Structure 1
Amino acid sequence: MFGCCRATNRLPWGSLLQKFVFQARPLSGADAVTALRPFYFAVHPDFFGQHPMEREVNENSLKRLNGYLTSLQKPSQKSHKPAQLTFYVRETEPNTMNDPDTIKTTGFRTVHFTLQTRDLLSTVLDILNSCSLSTAHVNTSEVGMESKPHMGTKTAFDRPIKWDKTYYSFTGFKDPEEELEQAQRVETTIIPWLENNQSLANKKLTKSFPLREELERLKNELADQLQLSDIRWQRSWGVAHRCSQLHSLSRLIQQNPETLKMAKGRTLLFTDETGMNASGHVMLGTMDVHHQWAKLFERLSSYTYLERKLLHLQDRISHLLGGIEIVHIEEQQSLLTIEEYYRMLETFYNKLLSSRMPIHPRSLRCLKMILQSDRFAPRLHEMGHYIIPTLCDPASLQWFLLTHSQQARENLKRKEELTFVEQELTTLCKDRSSLSRLYKEPSISCVQMIDCCKRLTEEPLLCLTGMHLCISHYYSVLQDGDLCIPWNWKR
C-alpha cells in the first residue's frame, strides 16, 4: 500500500495541473476575432457589391453576431438569447455538383445556423463548423494563444500570422487582404455601367410587371381585410419573395380569422424575427412558421398594455429632462423589440431618478433624443436629435444636453429644410429623367440624396427613361430590374 503511495507522489502533478488550467482557460474576445478571420473573409459584405440582397443579409447577420459575441464577454449576463443567423459564404474553390447549397452562378452558398453556446470557444467552433471552415487553428490555439507562460517556459508569439506578399506569389494562394482592398478600390463610372446593364435591367423589369401588380393587389386586399395601417418590409427582398410572404399571411388569415383581427390599425413589418418592435409595429419573421405568427397575434392584447407602460415611462423621463421628447427612430433601430426598449427606458429612468438632476421643466422642449444601449458617450446627430447611452452618467448628460441645445435646435430646423428640398428635388429629378420610380435606401441621408438628385437634374441621363432607380452606395441591377447607383456616382 505504501509503495503505491510513493509511486503516486512521483507523478508530475504540477505539469498536469498546469496543462489543465491552460486548457480550461476561456477564449478572449481578441482571440475569438482572430480565430474567426477565415469566416469574416468568407462573408464580408464588401465582397458582395454586385449582390445587394446577400450583402444586406450578411451585414445584418454580422451585427447580430457581434452583439452575441459581446454579450458572451459580459460576466453579468448569465443568459443569452439564441441567435438565428443566415450568411452567404463565398466559395473559394470551383463549385461541385455534389454540393446542393452552392449557387454556381454567383459563387456563394447559403448557411443557416443557431447559436446557443455560452462561451466564446464553443461559439467560434460552431460558426466555423457551420460554414464548413477549418477549426484546426482554433484547437491548437487554446493553449498557445490563451494561456500565459509560466516562469521558464517558452511559447510561440500570441498574434496571428501575417504572411509576406511573396508567400502568396510563390504558392499561388489568394491574399485575403489584397482581395478585400481590390473590392473596395473598384470604381465604376455611370455612363459605361448603364450602357452595359440597361438591357438586362429592362428585361428583368418587364418580366417583373405581372408580379408587381400581384404584389400591389395582395397588399391592398390584406390591408383592407385586416384594417391595417400599412404593410412594409424591413429588407429589400425581391417582388416574388414578397408575394410569397403575403400568400403565407393570407393562408394564416383563412386558418385564424378572428385572431388576426387583433392587428387592426397596426403596421405589419416582414423582417428577420417575430415580435413587436419599439415603434409598435407587428414584426413577422420570414424564417418563422405560421404557428409562431399566430402566437404573436394572440399576444397582441398584452403588448397593448406594455405600450401604455412604455408611453408613461417616456413621459416621466421627458419630465425629468426638461420636456425633451423621447423618440424611437425606426431606421436606426429597426429590430429593437418593444421588450428591449422598455428595459432600456426603465434602466435609464431609474438612473435619472436616483440623481435628481436640476433641469428647468421646459428648457429642452421641442428637442428630441433616442436611447442606445451600445454607446458610451452622448452625441448630437446631424439631423438634430440627441443619441444618449442608456448608462450615461447623469451629471455628464445634464451638461451635454444643455450645452448643445442651441445646436440641436438649429440642426432640427435644418432637417426640416433639407427634407423639403429633398422631396422637391426627387420629384424634379424623376420627371426630368422620365423615371417610373425614384427612391433611396434607408442608409442614404438627406444631404446625399440632394447631392445626387441635383447632379441628375443638371446632367439628365436619357437612358433612364421608364426605369426604376434606387439611390444607394453601389452599382447593381436588382433581381426585379431596379437599377442601383451610388449617390456619389461619377461620369
Structure 2
Amino acid sequence: MWTHRLARLASSRWHTTYHPLRLHQKHLTTAQTSEFLRPFIFAVHPDFFGRHPKERAVNEYSLQQLYNHLENIRQQSVQASPKDLTFYLRNSQGQAFRTVTVSLLTRDVYTTVSNILKTCSLSTKDLQGFSPNPAAPFPRPIDWHHSYYTYTGKKNPNVATHQARHRAKDSLRYFLKTTIVEARKNIESSLPVREETDRLHAILQEDLQLEDLRWMSRWDLNTYRACLKSLGKLLREHPDIISNLKGKTLVIGNFTGVTREGYIMLSSKDVEHQWLSSLSSLPRQMRILCSLSTAERHLSDALGGITITRACSIYIMPAGIYLGLLKKLGNALRRFSQTTEGQRSLQRIGRGALANIEMNVTSDSGRLSAFSDGTLHVTASTQPLDLIDFLLENKHKVKYIKRKHQRYLFEETAAIQSCMEELNLAGLTKEDSVTAEEMMLCCKRLVENPVELGVSLNDTRLCIGHIYTKRWGGELCIPWNWNY
C-alpha cells in the first residue's frame, strides 16, 4: 500500500518555474520512483513493526508526512517547507531497528528520493544512473530554494504567486466544499454497519462482564465489526475462557497480549487460533503485572520516590517489553550507584524531592522529553547521569505544565460539547497525538464564525488530527490548526 501511494504521487509530472533559458526538467516515472524507493519502503514498512507499536506509529506518521511533502512539491505549494522526519529502520534480517532522521529540504522528487536513500545508508547506485537535470546553457537565472529566503529574511518573489494559486486548496473551506456531500452520503450508507457494530459491542461487553471494550486500530469500522463477530464465535465455541475476561478491559488493536496497564489486547490482523491461545493463557500473562509493580517500586526508590506512571494514550506497550525496559534502566542505576560519582549524583536528588513528579519509561531508545500532560518521558537506554540532570532540570517546569494541562482538559470538555451542539455534529473525536490544548483551540475556532466555513456541518462526523483526509463511513479528518 505504501509503495503504491508513493508511486501514485510520483506518476504525475513535477513542474518547475519556467524560464526561456532553462531546458525542461526530466522527471521520475512511476516505475522509477517505485523502484528507487523499494529498499526504503521495505526497511520502514509499518507492517514489519507489529511487535513494536510505538515504532510502528512513528513510521506511519512519518510516511504520511512524506506523502504530504511530495504532494506539496507536485502542487508547487508554499506548504512544502523544510522538515525533519524520524523513521525506525529494520536491518537486513528484520531482527532489529535503528533510528534515522530524514531532512526534507528540497522541492523536486529526484533530490528528495536521493536524500532519503543516502540518509538511510541505502544504495543510490541505480539512482545515479538517472540524471534529472541536464546542463542548462549559460547565462541562466538563479532559482533559490525557499529555505534561502526563510533563513536570510529576504523577500521571496515567488511567494505571492504560490499563495494565490494554492491558498484555496490548503484551506478547510475548500476541503469541506469538495468532500462534505459525499461524506454525508457515506454516513447514511454506513449507518446499518454502525448500528450492527454498536449492537455487537454492547452484547459482548455485557455477556463477558467486561469493564470496557475498545477499538484502537487504524482500520475502518467494517474491520471492527468483523472482529466482534469472530470474537463472539470464538467464545461460543470455547466458553471456558470467558471467566478469564471478567472485569477486564478488552482492546482490539494492533497486537495480541497484555499491556502494561493490564488491558487485554487482540490484534485485528491475527486469526482466531492466535486469539484463543492468548486468552487461554491470560492467568499466566496477568501475573507479570505483579513483577511490573515491583520493578517500578525499585526504580522509584532509586530516584528519590519519583512516581512511575504507565498511563499514556500514545504508547500502547506489551507488559513483557515494559518489564524489560524497567529492569534495564533499574540495573543501570544500581551499577551507577555503586560508583563514587553515582553516589554523589544520586545525593543531589534527595529522598522525596521528586515524589510529585510523574515519569514514564516509553522505549529502549530515543530522547528525553516533557509531554503536554506534565509527564517526563524517558528511555531505558538513558545514561544515569543524563537522567538525573534531566529530572532535576525539569521538576519545577512539569508542575506548571501539569496545572496548565488540567485547566486545558476542563476547557477541552466544554469546547467539545459546545462544538457538538452549535454545529449539530454527528460525531467529534480526536487522534491521540492531538493535545487537549490543541483540541480546545480547534473547537473554539470552529464555532467562532461557522459562516466562514462556507458549508453547514450539520450531521457531519469530524476527527481532529494533523492532515486533511476522508475516512470510511464519511468521517472527515481535519488538522487542528486549520486555516479558512
TM-score, structure 1 length as denominator?
A: 0.65
Aligned pair in 2 of structure 1 residues 402, 198: CA closer, same or farther (>3 Å)? same
Q: Once the 2 structures are TM-superposed, how far is the Cα of residue 219 of structure 1 from its aligned partner? A: 0.7
Q: Once the 2 structures are TM-superposed, how far is the Cα of residue 63 of structure 1 from its aligned partner? A: 5.7
**Secondary structure in 1 matching 2:298:** helix
In the other structure, the counterpart of 1:481 is: 474
Which amino acid in the other structure matches residue 271 of structure 1?
G
In the other structure, the counterpart of 1:38 is: 37
Aligned pair in 2 of structure 1 residues 320, 193: CA closer, same or farther (>3 Å)? same
In the other structure, the counterpart of 1:463 is: 456
Which amino acid in the other structure matches residue 443 of structure 1?
S
Matched, 1:317 2:299: yes
Q: Once the 2 structures are TM-superposed, how far is the Cα of residue 484 of structure 1 from its aligned partner? A: 1.6
Matched ranges for 1:407-422 at <5 A: 407-422=397-412
Q: Once the 2 structures are TM-superposed, how far is the Cα of residue 375 of structure 1 from its aligned partner? A: 3.0
Unaligned runs of 5+ in 2: 1-32, 57-62, 68-89, 96-120, 137-161, 338-345
Matched ranges for 1:6-405 at <5 A: 37-39=36-38, 60-61=46-47, 118=93, 161=128, 163-166=130-133, 187-334=169-316, 336-356=317-337, 357-358=346-347, 359-375=349-365, 377-405=367-395
**Secondary structure in 1 matching 2:473:** coil
Which amino acid in the other structure matches residue 335 of structure 2?
S
Question: Deviation per CA, 1:276-319, whole angstroms, max 9, x where unpaired?
Answer: 12222111122222111111111111122110111121122112
In the other structure, the counterpart of 2:413 is: 423
Question: Deviation per CA, 1:72-112, whole angstroms, max 9, x where unpaired?
Answer: xxxxxxxxxxxxxxx99x9xxxxxxxxxxxxxxxxxxxxxx
Unaligned runs of 5+ in 1: 1-33, 45-57, 71-86, 91-114, 121-144, 147-155, 170-181
Query: In structure 1, how many angstroms separate the alpha carbons of the residues matched to 2:351 and 2:405?
Result: 25
Aligned pair in 2 of structure 1 residues 477, 332: CA closer, same or farther (>3 Å)? closer
Q: Once the 2 structures are TM-superposed, how far is the Cα of residue 395 of structure 1 from its aligned partner? A: 2.3
Query: In structure 1, how many angstroms separate the alpha carbons of the residues matched to 2:400 and 2:276?
Result: 46
Query: In structure 1, how many angstroms separate the alpha carbons of the residues matched to 2:467 and 2:460?
Result: 17
Do the aligned residues in 2 keep the contact of 1:474 with 1:485 (CA within 8 Å)?
yes
In the other structure, the counterpart of 2:431 is: 441
Do the aligned residues in 1 keep the contact of 2:50 with 2:254 (CA within 8 Å)?
no
In the other structure, the counterpart of 1:53 is: none
Question: Deviation per CA, 1:30-82, whole angstroms, max 9, x where unpaired?
Answer: xxxx99852277799xxxxxxxxxxxxx9743766999999xxxxxxxxxxxx
Q: Once the 2 structures are TM-superposed, how far is the Cα of residue 481 of structure 1 from its aligned partner? A: 1.1
Aligned pair in 2 of structure 1 residues 453, 67: CA closer, same or farther (>3 Å)? closer
Aligned pair in 2 of structure 1 residues 116, 280: CA closer, same or farther (>3 Å)? farther
Query: In structure 2, how many angstroms separate the alpha carbons of the residues matched to 1:406 and 1:261?
Result: 46
Do the aligned residues in 2 keep the contact of 1:379 with 1:388 (CA within 8 Å)?
yes
Choose 1 or 2 for highest CA Rg.
Answer: 1
Q: Once the 2 structures are TM-superposed, how far is the Cα of residue 421 of structure 1 from its aligned partner? A: 1.2
Q: Once the 2 structures are TM-superposed, how far is the Cα of residue 430 of structure 1 from its aligned partner? A: 1.3
Query: In structure 1, how many angstroms separate the alpha carbons of the residues matched to 2:268 and 2:221?
Result: 14
Q: CA RMSD in A?
A: 3.7
Do the aligned residues in 1 keep the contact of 2:409 with 2:437 (CA within 8 Å)?
no
Question: Deviation per CA, 1:187-241, whole angstroms, max 9, x where unpaired?
Answer: 4222232222222111110111121111111111101111112111222322222
Query: In structure 1, how many angstroms separate the alpha carbons of the residues matched to 2:305 and 2:52?
Result: 35
**Secondary structure in 2 matching 1:232:** strand
Aligned residue pairs total 357
Q: Once the 2 structures are TM-superposed, how far is the Cα of residue 340 of structure 1 from its aligned partner? A: 0.6
Do the aligned residues in 1 keep the contact of 2:314 with 2:432 (CA within 8 Å)?
no
Which amino acid in the other structure matches residue 286 of structure 1?
S
Do the aligned residues in 1 keep the contact of 2:373 with 2:401 (CA within 8 Å)?
yes
Do the aligned residues in 2 keep the contact of 1:194 with 1:463 (CA within 8 Å)?
no
Which amino acid in the other structure matches residue 476 of structure 2?
L
**Secondary structure in 2 matching 1:372:** strand
**Secondary structure in 2 matching 1:253:** helix
Identity %: 26
In the other structure, the counterpart of 2:156 is: none
**Secondary structure in 1 matching 2:477:** strand
Query: In structure 2, how many angstroms separate the alpha carbons of the residues matched to 1:221 and 1:313?
Result: 38
Query: In structure 2, how many angstroms separate the alpha carbons of the residues matched to 1:482 and 1:279?
Result: 30
Do the aligned residues in 2 keep the contact of 1:208 with 1:239 (CA within 8 Å)?
no
Which amino acid in the other structure matches residue 458 of structure 2?
T
TM-score, structure 2 length as denominator?
A: 0.66
Which amino acid in the other structure matches residue 473 of structure 2?
D
Which amino acid in the other structure matches residue 376 of structure 2?
Y
